[in-house]
Amino acid sequence: MRSREPGEAIPRVNPISLSQLPLRPELVGEEPYGAPQLDVPVCLNVNENPYPPSESVRRQMAHAVSRSASGLNRYPDREATELRRALAEYVGFGVGSDQVWPANGSNEVMTQILQAFGGPGRRLLTFTPTYSMYPEYARNTHTDYVTAPRDAWFGLDAARILAAIAAHRADVVLITTPNNPTGTTVPVAVIEEVCRATDAIVVVDEAYQEFTDTPEDSAIALLPKFGRLIVVRTLSKAFALAGGRVGYAVAAPAVIDALRIVRLPYHLSATTQAVARVALANAPEMLERVDELRETRAGLEEWLRLHGFDVVPSQSNFLLFGRFTDRHEVFSRLLDQGVLVREVGPDGFLRVCAGTPAETDAFRKAILTILPRISLAPSDARDQVGTKRRVREESR
């Protein structure tokens, strides 16, 4: 080892690089997941609810956290008993607390599902384009990850799903409705047909369910019929609790027991449980902005179409719009105007979420400012997308 010269500074950190570490082979060259978090006036890129909890709810949360702080020298309730009761009451459909399992966001729920039912030698199937974290859940649990394409307007029917299950011999099937980033939905009748025809674990990701026109039309209603069905939801979106990190699974008690086997001890902190219980106790107030955001999304969808953009019909709090010959240029021009959207999903499209009236107005003004300087896809391609959209709307 080289001796240090007198007065030579001692490095603050070891200079080893990532490439010099003995990473698992499948992690080499990977980067951490994350949407851009930039300090700009208008952030419409991560599908958040733009309205924070009211002052009254915040006071209740603060009081609940203060009370829980008196016991922070003790471990939290590892079964999250009271939170599970509150979630079961909110979900309805006759669901009991033994059918609900909360964790740190739906990310942890999904990981636990694959820890229990995926793993080496097992295969997760989902349908693209869809949420970009899914392959990472699979990678991190040593689960084989395969995909099949959605149809021309980003939908799914039972025949397409079942054909993909058979072709890939999937052990776990992940159906996202409403789908991120497209906002398209899969009817409960389709999910029922799939569950009847497969022995695979069927996971339905309903993270944005409350934003649909018919939020009560949920796959949760199918749970009494199918023991291998899991419905995953979150408090991050409609409940405006993204910073609280609470997602949950709803399934048969035996499935919940399987998730309890793989969970880390005391995985959900006492303060997280306390804040989530307050949110659920104030569910009507926490959800009162959902109708407004649904209307904002619908109005923005129509406005974008009137200005010549193709828009995928959405049942969530976001929209996929385009088509652009160079979507990164459009993303950058919007960013120059102080508006951050998401460069994700199919080529030629960007995703924007419903914001406050001021945020939505800023987005519209930014679009109008850059519109003369951006290029849309050739008219024949755009006409094709528009035709597919009209066919879908007329078939409803």
pLDDT digits (tens, 9 = 90+) for 262-292: 999 999 999 999 999 999 999 999 999 999 9
- Domain boundary residue among 264, 281, 298? 281
The answer to which of 22-31, 271-280, 331-340 has the lowest mean pLDDT is 22-31
Using the predicted structure, report yes or no on whether residue 137 has a pLDDT greater than 70: yes
Summarize the chain as % helix, strand, coil (round to 5): 45, 15, 40
Residues 183 and 120 reside in one and the same domain? yes
Residues 204 and 146 reside in one and the same domain? yes
pLDDT digit string, tens, across residues 222-244:
999 999 999 999 999 999 999 99
- Domain boundary residue among 281, 298, 321? 281
Instruction: Give the Cα separation of 152 and 238 in Å (integer).
Output: 28
Using the predicted structure, report yes or no on whether residue 25 has a pLDDT greater than 60: yes
Residues 229 and 293 reside in one and the same domain? no
* 225 assigned to some structural domain: yes
* 1 assigned to some structural domain: no
Residues 169 and 229 reside in one and the same domain? yes
Q: Provide the domain limits for residue 223.
A: 55-281
Residues 294 and 173 reside in one and the same domain? no
Residues 235 and 308 reside in one and the same domain? no
Residue 351, domain CATH: 3.90.1150.10
In this prediction the pTM is: 0.91
* 23 assigned to some structural domain: no
DSSP 214: -
Residues 119 and 188 reside in one and the same domain? yes
* 61 assigned to some structural domain: yes
Q: Which two tokens stand for residue 154?
A: 């980003």
- Quote the mean pLDDT of the chain: 92
- Measured CA to CA in angstroms, residue 356 lies from 52, 215, 317, 350 at distances of 11, 22, 12, 19
Using the predicted structure, report yes or no on whether residue 380 has a pLDDT greater than 60: no
* 311 assigned to some structural domain: yes
Please count the structural domains in the chain. Answer: 2
User: What DSSP element (H or E) covers 370?
Assistant: helix 357-370
What's the mean pLDDT in 2-13? 70
* 223 assigned to some structural domain: yes
Residues 69 and 193 reside in one and the same domain? yes
* 300 assigned to some structural domain: yes
Model pLDDT, residue 3: 63
Residues 329 and 276 reside in one and the same domain? no
* 4 assigned to some structural domain: no
Residues 175 and 297 reside in one and the same domain? no
User: What DSSP element (H or E) covers 82?
Assistant: helix 81-91
Model pLDDT, residue 65: 97
Residues 137 and 266 reside in one and the same domain? yes
Q: Write the CB contacts of 352 (distance below 8 Å, at least 6 apart in sequence).
A: 44, 45, 300, 318, 319, 321, 341, 342, 363
Amino acid at residue number 298: A
Residue 213, domain CATH: 3.40.640.10
Residues 191 and 84 reside in one and the same domain? yes
